[in-house]
Amino acid sequence: MTHAPHPETWLKPVPGGLYCVPGDFFIDPTRRADRAIITHGHSDHARADNGAVLATAETIAIMRHRLGERAGASHQTLAYGETITIGEVAVRLVPAGHVLGSAQVVLDWKGSRAVVSGDYKRRLDATCAPFEPVPCDVFVTEATFGLPVFRHPPDGEEIDKLLHALRLYPERCVLVGAYSLGKAQRVLSLIRARGHDAPIYLHGAIATMCGLYEQFGQTFGDVRPWQGVAKDAFKGHIILAPPGVTADLWARKLPDPVVAMASGWMRVKQRAKQRSVELPLVISDHADWDELLRTFDDVGAPEIWVTHGAEEALIRQATLTGRRARALRLVGLGEEEET
């Protein structure tokens, strides 16, 4: 009979993030690390100035685009499903379904397996590879929407609300706040899937990120930069901008915009009000309550570690269903909002 080491003896939450002892590397370090595996390109996971960085080719391209010279001293790409060995630890990346290039990190050491999922969702998203459940001993999860109140509605219904507003107010335009990495591309692809093929105008930060997605084979139909377009030409059209920009000065350059925002947080009416959002769209790139719990079933892990988010209810629920569960309380995650 062999005894595999428990993952808590070799994968540890320390002040700089989640550290793999036998491999001597961090996953999504929150402080500069000599060796880092990065799950995806959002700023709370992909930070500047690490030494050797390992990630999917897409994530490395996103990091180079966002961080330039500071994207890491050296880069190594790993395709989904490929395995490499780092200090006796077998490392494999599998899709997390969150944004382009997002990966779960599968770690195997001496018969013991931990899966670090980064951020993830279970809804199909045409702009990235779908989440792949991997059986494991410990599943490390986020809990951004780890409360029963968070049940995301079908995406298509939310997009229909947007298209309805567009038809209802032909003299206005719809300004949609969406993160420039992931959410904006997903919203575009959902709008196209709903058959709306008119031009859509993009804020610069979103346009350049769409360009990067296009390098990896995505298409978004007729998208145009909003710059230099006459105010009246926006009437009856959709404009996408990062959330911080929507309330800003350039919103005044638009013809009476219906301000929409695409976020899982739009489920909370107070959040929509705070941001003066007239048309809240509950579209999230994170698993909702049901999806979190379904994922625990799918990976069959007897033990759940929660990195960040609304961990209490999730830990209680995991415990009630016969699992061990603990909060890692990793500081610095869950702050990917753009200002």
One of 35, 42, 92, 183 touching Zn ion (CB under 5 A): 42
Instruction: Provide the minimum distance between the beta carbon of 256 and Zn ion in the complex, in angstroms, as a whole number.
Output: 33
One of 119, 158, 288, 311 touching Zn ion (CB under 5 A): 119
In sequence order, what are the residues at sequence separation of 6 or more whose Cβ sits closer than 8 angstroms to the Cβ of residue 290? 151
| Candidate ranges 107-115, 117-125, 162-170, 299-307; the one touching Zn ion (CB under 5 A) | 117-125
**Choice between 238 and 282, CB closer to Zn ion:** 282
**Choice between 242 and 257, CB closer to Zn ion:** 242
One of 44, 49, 298, 338 touching Zn ion (CB under 5 A): 44
The number of residues making up the chain comes to 339
String of contacts with Zn ion for each residue 232-271, x by CB under 5 A: ----------------------------------------
Torsion sign across C-alpha atoms 263, 266, 270, 276:
positive
| E strand spans, 117-157 | 138-143
Structure-token match 């069959």, residue found: 300
| Candidate ranges 27-35, 41-49, 82-90, 227-235; the one touching Zn ion (CB under 5 A) | 41-49
Is residue 132 involved in binding Zn ion (CB under 5 A)? no
| Candidate ranges 163-171, 212-220, 228-236, 328-336; the one touching Zn ion (CB under 5 A) | 328-336
Site for Zn ion in 91-110 (CB under 5 A): none
Structure-token match 């990495």, residue found: 181
> Are the CB atoms for 125 and 285 separated by under 8 Å?
yes
In sequence order, what are the residues at sequence separation of 6 or more whose Cβ sits closer than 8 angstroms to the Cβ of residue 325? 303, 304, 305, 306, 314, 315, 318, 319
> Are the CB atoms for 42 and 65 separated by under 8 Å?
no
**Choice between 47 and 75, CB closer to Zn ion:** 47
Instruction: Provide the minimum distance between the beta carbon of 100 and Zn ion in the complex, in angstroms, as a whole number.
Output: 11
Residue 71 exposed, middle or buried by CB count within 10 Å (0-12, 13-18, 19+): buried
Interface ranges with Zn ion (CB under 5 A): 42, 44, 119, 336
